[in-house]
Amino acid sequence: MKRKLTAFLLLVFITMMIVPAINIIATPNIKAKQLRKKSFLYNMDIISRWTQESLYPLGISIHSNQVIIGSDDWLFLGDGYDLTLSEDRRPANESDNAIAKKISASNNAWNEYLISKGVKIFKVMVGPNKGSIYSEHMPTWARPDAFNPTDALFAATGKERYIDLRPPLLVGKEKHPEPLYYKTDTHWNYLGGAIAFHAFAEQIAQAAPELEWPSEKSYTLDRIDSRSGGDLSKFLRLSANATDDLPIIHVSDLPIETTQSNFYTKEVISQGGNPLVDLTFTPTLVTSVGALNNKKALWLRDSFGGALSQLMAATFDNVLQIHWSEALKQDGSFAQLVEDFKPDYVFITVVERSARSPDFTVFPPGFLSSDTSIKTARAASPSR
């Protein structure tokens, strides 16, 4: 026992000597103040990176809760976010059906509410998880079930207001040899976003024939650039060595000039060109000179909206954006934004793994519906 304790203490001592030395040697242009910080000297990122680099060819992730390693350098999100893997790979059950019915009732209630406020169209587009489109690159055990909780959601909501973007992206994958999602990131890229927006536009056009939409050329691939590794490679501490394709579509070349500003304070955030609009939890208004329609759209979105933002700005000259969780939560800002902005259209973009969030079961404030099914669902929903 004494020998084991001595060996353990010796190992700890050696590690405490080696790790600072590795960090110092591996850090170019090191500054004196860094040498005085324990957080720098004993940072284990380099050790983690070396370990992951050695295990990567074997398909082993040292952060499997965040990332799993697929074939051909494809990375996929683990269970650390909305239990993505576990939820996708199991068949839907009665609990999923019950939640889906509550979401459907809430969506119906919001639709009635928005119509009463003069909103012409209300649509929810669900961006597929990467594994739903590129399951062939996932380990066999991780692939989505044929009828999983997402399918239960669409079975309950129907396709009148919910847009299932899995079918058009699967068709797009067959047409394009280029990936529609980043290999090292959770998100679709600009090409995947273009296919998604085109499918969205086709559905909206049926209900609003008065709207103009970007030309077919706007969705075409102009070139493929390169970018550094995305969020999944960062989780594995491999982003410094990872690269990804960055497809650029023609909408980037359209003569659109945007201004991003805080909706309430009017403070200008950025101006010029038509860049990607970052995710925001404060109401951000994007006004566009050169947009096809003089219309106002309230867009509740998440990070999957980034690849759509240029096309959205090219279509509507006033787009008010905010993360859907901030707007839809209990006592959220959705109703107030509708009152203050008076949008012509309301759209929601949510990634598949979050589409069953409890936020989507929240009803409009003080809303009374004549629909019996809505009343029943609201009465059955626990207060939050």
Can you say whether residue 158 is alpha, beta or left, with left for phi > 0 and alpha for psi between -120 and 50 degrees? left
Pick from 310, 304, 293: which is nearest to 256 by CA? Answer: 310
| pLDDT-based confidence at residue 372 (cuts at 50, 70, 90) | low
Handedness of CA 286, 289, 292, 294 (dihedral sign): positive
Residue 81 has what pLDDT? 86
Backbone angles phi, psi at 41, to 5 degrees: -60, -35
One-character DSSP codes across 306-322: GGGHHHHHHHEEEEEEE
Is the pLDDT at 143 greater than 60? The verdict is: yes
Residue 370 has what pLDDT? 58
**How many Å separate Cα 254 from the centre of its chain?**
25
Pick from 304, 260, 303, 305: which is nearest to 283 by CA? Answer: 260
Contact between 49 and 237 under an 8 Å Cβ cutoff? The reply is yes
- Show the tokens assigned to 381: 């929903």
Q: What is the mean pLDDT of the segment spanning 73-100?
A: 95
Question: Which residue reads 């040899």 in tokens?
Answer: 177
Q: What is the mean pLDDT of the segment spanning 288-316?
A: 97
Residue 59 has what pLDDT? 82
Contact between 333 and 79 under an 8 Å Cβ cutoff? The reply is no
User: CA dist 353 to 85, 112, 131, 241, 312, Å?
Assistant: 9, 26, 11, 28, 23
- Show the tokens assigned to 297: 């759209």
Residue 38 has what pLDDT? 47
Is the pLDDT at 157 greater than 70? The verdict is: yes
Q: Are strands 257-262 and 268-271 parallel, antiparallel or unpaired?
A: antiparallel
State pLDDT tens for residues 322-343. 999 999 999 999 999 999 999 9
Residue 40 has what pLDDT? 45
Dihedral angle, C-alpha 294, 296, 297, 303, nearest 10 °: 80
Residue 17 has what pLDDT? 55
C-alpha to C-alpha distance for 336 and 350, rounded to whole angstroms: 20
Pick from 64, 196, 185, 63: which is nearest to 126 by CA? Answer: 196
State pLDDT tens for residues 24-40. 555 555 554 454 444 54
Residue 55 has what pLDDT? 73
Residue 57 has what pLDDT? 80
Is the pLDDT at 21 greater than 90? The verdict is: no
Q: What is the mean pLDDT of the segment spanning 140-168?
A: 97
State pLDDT tens for residues 199-254. 999 999 999 999 999 999 999 999 999 999 999 999 888 877 789 999 999 998 89
Q: 10 Cβ partners below 8 Å, 6+ apart? A: none
Mean pLDDT, the chain, whole residue set: 88
User: Could you give the angle at which helices 2-26 and 45-55 cross, rounded to 10 degrees?
Assistant: 100
pTM across the whole model: 0.85
The residues with which 225 forms a beta bridge, in sequence order, are 246
C-alpha to C-alpha distance for 290 and 76, rounded to whole angstroms: 38
When mean pLDDT is compared across 81-90, 347-356, 372-381, the lowest value belongs to 372-381
Backbone angles phi, psi at 32, to 5 degrees: -60, -35
Is the pLDDT at 123 greater than 80? The verdict is: yes
Q: What is the mean pLDDT of the segment spanning 120-149?
A: 97
% of the chain exceeding 70 in pLDDT: 82
Residue 240 has what pLDDT? 73
State pLDDT tens for residues 29-85. 555 445 444 454 444 555 566 565 677 887 878 788 999 999 999 999 999 988 999
C-alpha to C-alpha distance for 357 and 176, rounded to whole angstroms: 32
C-alpha to C-alpha distance for 124 and 178, rounded to whole angstroms: 27
The residues with which 249 forms a beta bridge, in sequence order, are 221
User: CA dist 299 to 78, 318, 369, Å?
Assistant: 28, 10, 24
